[in-house]
Structure 1
């Protein structure tokens, strides 16, 4: 069976793979799942500031063995201009078509059938708005819970949350908590919220995300 590698932006995404995605893959009979953060410089990992760093990591993993599937888990929000086909984004009318273009550029750049590019629309925090339950568990202040639950009610598909950059999912979390005198801690809170929601609900609400997960399962098992 093929090994599955996720190349991710940072610690939060790595923990999401290890704690939320891994049990799901195990339930499908896929046991060798690994997440690695992007190498930014010697001895340092995390963050996507330059596409070349990401490409180098992907190329190195693909060279390491034959029976492998490599994918990415990176955010569209604030994606660097060094990404392949970035300069062509203005020719695309929708966020989905822009992401598709960037993923195509990555696929052509890596040029390996074992590589599956994936860019999260708009960012990791979008997944946290799949259900109200995570917010109800995480926050004691009923005003915070109500404000965040109102956002859940506003969008049928959490992947559509981002009418403007200042309203990106993470910005909404940061601003909602700041308005009530609290601070959003992505590392400490993000995965606890996701774990409370559960992957099945996230996949039910976030179809683009679900299609990616389904594709990975099929590729690893064939």
Structure 2
């Protein structure tokens, strides 16, 4: 059985893989699933400030053994301009097309059939708007829950939530909480909300995310 490695941007994404996604893949008979934060310098991990850091980690894992599938889990929001094809983004209009261009650039640059690039449309927090249930569990203030629920109702596909800085999923969440005197803890709250929603609901609501997971299943079982 192949190993499945996720090279992720930060601790929040790592926890999401190691908790929510791990359970999903185990249910599919895929047991060796790991998430590793990007190595930015000796002894330091987390954050994507330079594509070379990401590339180094990907190549190191691919060189480590043959029975391995490597993927990425990084946010489109604020990707560094060192990403392959970044200088061509202005030729694409929609966010999906821009992401496709970046993923193609990474795929061509790494040039290994065991590597599947993935850029999360908008950011991790978009997944949290797949359902109201996570917010209802996390927050006692009914006004906070109502405002967050309104956003859930507004978008059939949470991946379509606007990436403009003031309308990004995390900004919406932070602003709603801040206006009610509360603070968003990305690592703890984000993953608890995701766990409450459940991976099946997230997959049902987020087609790009679902397509990525299905491709990983195919790769690892091939």
TM-score category of the 2 structures, normalised to the smaller one? over 0.9
d(CA) in 2 for partners of 1:120 and 1:41?
24
Deviations 1:17-42 (A, max 9, x none): 01000111011110000110000111
d(CA) in 2 for partners of 1:15 and 1:91?
35
1:164, CA displacement in angstroms? 1.9
d(CA) in 2 for partners of 1:184 and 1:152?
17
d(CA) in 2 for partners of 1:183 and 1:81?
31
Contact 2:77–2:163 (CA under 8 A) maintained in structure 1: no
Q: CA-atom RMSD, angstroms?
A: 0.6
Normalised by the length of structure 1, the TM-score is 0.99
d(CA) in 2 for partners of 1:165 and 1:207?
23
Query: Partner of 2:11 in structure 1?
Result: 11
Listed as ranges, the gaps of 5+ residues in structure 1 are none
- Where in structure 2 are the equivalents of 1:198-213 lying within 5 Å? 198-213=198-213
Query: Partner of 1:34 in structure 2?
Result: 34
Query: Partner of 1:108 in structure 2?
Result: 108
1:163, CA displacement in angstroms? 5.3
Normalised by the length of structure 2, the TM-score is 0.99
- Where in structure 2 are the equivalents of 1:164-203 lying within 5 Å? 164-203=164-203
1:165, CA displacement in angstroms? 2.1
d(CA) in 1 for partners of 2:95 and 2:103?
12
d(CA) in 2 for partners of 1:81 and 1:140?
41
Contact 2:72–2:116 (CA under 8 A) maintained in structure 1: yes
1:196, CA displacement in angstroms? 0.1
Query: Partner of 1:91 in structure 2?
Result: 91
Listed as ranges, the gaps of 5+ residues in structure 2 are none
Query: Partner of 2:150 in structure 1?
Result: 150
Structure 1 runs of 4+ aligned residues shifted over 6 Å read none
1:166, CA displacement in angstroms? 1.3
- In the alignment of these two chains, the number of paired residues is 222
